[in-house]
Structure 1
Amino acid sequence: MAAYYWNKALAGAMLPALQCLEVTLRNAIDKAVQSGPVPGATGLWLTDHNWIFSLPRYMGKKAYPKLRRRYKMAKKPADRQDAQGVMLDQYGHRIIACKVREETLVDQARDLIVAEGKTITPARVISGLSFGFWTTLLSTKYEDVNSKSLLWPNLEAIVFPHAPPGCGMPDIREAFHRVRALRNRLSHHEALWKFHYDDPATGLPDYGNPVYGAQASCSLLRKHYDDIIEMIGWMSPDRKANFLSHSANLRFYALCSVDGLNSYIAPEKIKAQIKVSRGGKGISRLIRVLEKNEFIRIVKEGQTVLTIGTDNSTQIQ
């Protein structure tokens, strides 16, 4: 069970970076659509603040071009319907029968806002959409090289202005796909530190070829985490710098190590230690504070070196 709680702590430590990446991505796309409108979108979908409603609806019409497939058709003369026989709701809007997933996710976000007694706004809908929604917008489904009516490649340089040289949309999609897979493992309470070598033929994880060893597993997970931080910088170097300036990454790095694992399963294996002896007033005070589940600040020459609080699976006796 100790390793299980270490994995839970790892998941918690990884969340701030994942959340920062998600918020940075959605803000970058939202700003890009409105500030650098897609040239071929005119007459197809809106590129103002209402784009979050308009683009998924356009994609739904594009996916289901036939009227009878897209909309619910009236079966009886008494049914409320328009001139083409499409059923209408109480507000006079056509009732959609088949939607793409993005439309459904937007509808769910709207429903949740209403259930909370709030007014539906584009900003609230955007903040209520999942990471999966935003990574779907990165897919080839939203790419149109010819008519330039969709997001990519039109907005690539605006959304990802600091992507590494030679890193195009295929590379960006793959990077976000890997992050989404890792995030799903976190959400489903799987072991984050368990990895499998990629199959050289497919580039996908080979589940018959696991990575063994705590050090190797931690190194791979750290690499994934480092990638997340770098991807934030692809969109906003300032956001990346702000994240790091608040030391939001240090807890993850401390936990994602052999010593981090040992702090939960075998504290006696951690080599670095401080022995409490008579006269050790500073250490004694530190222990008293930790026993009360409070925080203490370590100061050197008037400057804060670090803050410490009880954060371990082993209770202080």
Structure 2
Amino acid sequence: MTFKALVVEKDEDGKTSAAVQEIGLDLLPETEVTVAVEYSTVNYKDGLCIGPGGGLVRNYPHVPGIDFAGTVESSSDNRYKAGDKVVLTGWRVGEAHWGGYSQKARVRADWLVPLPDGLTTRQAMAVGTAGFTSMLAVQALEDQGLKAGPVLVTGAAGGVGSVAVALLAAMGRQVAAVTGRPEQADYLKGLGATEIIAREELAETVKRPLEGERWGGCVDAVGGAMLGRLLGQMEYGASVAAVGLAGGANLPATVIPFLLRGVNLLGIDSVMQPYENRVRAWTRLAELLPMEKLDAMVVEATLEDLPKLGADILEGQVRGRVVVDVNA
């Protein structure tokens, strides 16, 4: 039996290439659960794995795709049986372990979560790792206590930012969306943003360690200079949930916002979340996220589209959520 997968290979000169191939079950990792994959997504990490040099890939040949949703075909673990609908994010799937850009996948049972009631496999991947990460960030802000002012979302037109805007708006919060693409203003307002801020306004390196108190919380999907700048604009005791490094890993900031304004910097990592956290996040996503807004974020793609999409997402050309129908 063979099936389709996007396979990334590296030649003797270290050059990588990605192409759809027919492969067999014997090539899949020997783990407990075999899943008939229905949908995956395109994330920034996927672009790194597909692109020249391979980025985060640990071994070759490799099947990228850092998340997927589908139906269990077989399982040696009694927590899952054939026919169960499941979703997977994290655990270095698509980086160190073959991932979701394949019509079949084998993974550890510990990595899976039952698909919540009210979500289809396509909707789960419209949410995907980006939406799951957004929910973790919003939960972290709630746990620390969101303040009264508007909540800032940076990188708002991307996958994490789009879902964060929609989630916060569904919770009744005022949302200020930061984007470098002014043409996305109507899209972001449609998701529930009440204010659109040009990226240039926050992209400058910190000039003063404290500015006026503007934000009751922040989901930062960019990092770098922007994160350093916005720390000095948070309300007293407010929190920033930092989820991305697109703007760089360096943090040009001082300790003053933390010491004098009690700002909390919360690091959000979606890769190795405990099972209880994953179930909580997926359950709340199914309950909170307006499906009509989710549909507005989605662009559908096939396995054959992935090499170009991998390059596009690295260049910041992908808006919202790209759902990959691996069987199309």
Place the TM-score, normalised by the shorter chain, in its bin.
under 0.3
Q: Greater share of helix residues, 1 or 2?
A: 1
TM-score norm. by structure 1 comes to: 0.22
Q: Greater share of strand residues, 1 or 2?
A: 2
TM-score norm. by structure 2 comes to: 0.21
Whichever of the two has the greater Rg, that structure is 1
